[in-house]
Structure 1
Amino acid sequence: MNSINFSQYAVTSEDELRRIVKAPHEHVVKKSVTTINEQCKQFIKMSPLFFLSTSNKDGTCDVSPRGDLPSPIKVINSHQLVIPDRPGNRRLDSITNIISNPHVGLVFLIPGLEEVLRINGRATVIKNGPILNDMQMNGASPLLGIGVDVEECYIHCSRALNQSKIWDAQTWQKAENLPIGKEIFRDHLKMNGIELKA
């Protein structure tokens, strides 16, 4: 397929955008708050999986899935939370992005629930011992954490998860039809000149 020149179809101003899509209802605008209330604290506590969105100073973006059971997040107070940075592949994409650009977005999911909780704020990479020691897993403290000062918190409507039927097991693909992560990994390495032995 030939490449598309997206710029010829570009929407280039908010005025043009609002001629296409009308302004949101006041309730949608006013649902955003700057604090983590008790209901949202409970939502976070019950969420074993969340997505962390970051970008570097040049605007290059990354979204990282993160999760533990129970929830790894520590809510410090109504304006702050801490994410432990568990051992992984050591790429540190989110961490290095935050060091150059503190703006982050979080989306929290609870299995079976179609609404998601969204939090936006400013993040700091921390190495504070007492906070991180309180977030141990299997007896090991995380080496680093991500402290987030919450600037925006709101519940997101159920449309996406409802329409995708993500929690409806009857809609799931059979295991033998699913993409195989190891094969994708090997193929990408091969594209970059690295051949893994069987």
Structure 2
Amino acid sequence: MNDRPTGPGSAGERLLQSHLGTGDRAAAFYDRQVQPQLTPQMLEFIRRQTMVFLSTADAAGNCDTGFRAGPPGFVVALDARTLTYPEYRGNGVHAGNGNIVENPHLGMLFIDFTHHHIGLHVNGTAQVVGDTEQRRLYPLLPTDTAQSRKPALWVHLTVDEAYVQCSKYIPHLEPAPRPRSLTNRPKDGDYFVSPAPDRRRSEYQGSGHGLPARQHE
């Protein structure tokens, strides 16, 4: 039979497993791979990572994906059930963190593209905490997670489950210094939309020196 015993996974997963006849394989994966907390191997893996992909949804189920990066260990493992990472000043939207305020479920995906070509899913319940409060509770948090930048917030995750992302489709990437931006590259804010009007041009007309156009009496 393909019906697996009660355990990890959603009702939707179980429905598809039954329909496609994969219940036995799924049960074996759940039994061996899905962990209720981070194993020592998982903790060591997270300490080496320099990036993580994030998934959140608001109370209505509208999704957002995010990406964070930093030096190795910028996602801090406080213990086998707790992760935290810093948030810095950005565009002010707070899409992912706003979702967490409404719906605390957070999915994290760490991928090693350069050495072992393997990934780690970590799912849990998160909250958004101010920097002062988080450091009061955890005074040993690192202060050098980004050069000359102080975290505005921390995302604090209580782990519900963690499991492997297999290596089959993970591409190989080589670390390299970031090249200087191309001179003809649009600014970030103009990259996917039409450039914003240049207000300076509307205020200063006709002068090659950036001075207001002369008014004729």
Between the aligned residues of both structures, percent identity stands at 20
Partner of 1:39: helix, strand, or coil? helix
Aligned equivalent of 2:190: 186
Asked if 1:134 corresponds to 2:136, the answer is no
The CA distance in 1 between the partners of 2:121 and 2:99, in whole Å, is 20
Q: Map of 1:15-34 to 2, 5 A cutoff?
A: 15=15, 18-20=18-20, 22-25=22-25, 26-30=27-31, 31-34=33-36
| Long gaps (5+) in structure 1 | 1-11, 170-174
CA displacement at 1:135 relative to structure 2 = 2.9
Asked if 1:115 corresponds to 2:118, the answer is yes
The CA distance in 2 between the partners of 1:14 and 1:95, in whole Å, is 30
Partner of 2:128: helix, strand, or coil? strand
The CA distance in 2 between the partners of 1:89 and 1:70, in whole Å, is 24
Aligned equivalent of 2:79: 77
Aligned equivalent of 1:149: 158
The farther-off stretch of 85-94 and 142-151 is 85-94
Structure 1 residues 104, 132: closer, same or farther in 2, change over 3 A? farther
Structure 1 residues 24, 41: closer, same or farther in 2, change over 3 A? same
Partner of 1:119: helix, strand, or coil? strand
Partner of 2:186: helix, strand, or coil? helix
Deviations 1:136-185 (A, max 9, x none): 23354312101100000111211221xxxx2166xxxxx9xxxx973785
The CA distance in 2 between the partners of 1:156 and 1:106, in whole Å, is 11
CA displacement at 1:96 relative to structure 2 = 0.5
Residue of structure 2 aligned with 1:39, choices 41, 47, 58: 41
Larger Rg: 2
TM-score (ref. length: structure 2): 0.68
The CA distance in 2 between the partners of 1:13 and 1:49, in whole Å, is 28
CA displacement at 1:87 relative to structure 2 = 2.6
| Long gaps (5+) in structure 2 | 1-11, 202-217
Q: Contact (CA 8 Å) 2:46, 2:73: kept in 1 or not? A: yes
Partner of 1:123: helix, strand, or coil? strand
Q: Is the helix fraction higher in 1 or 2? A: 1
CA displacement at 1:29 relative to structure 2 = 1.5
TM-score (ref. length: structure 1): 0.74
Deviations 1:25-70 (A, max 9, x none): 1331111011112111111011101101111101111110111012
The CA distance in 2 between the partners of 1:83 and 1:63, in whole Å, is 16
Partner of 1:96: helix, strand, or coil? helix
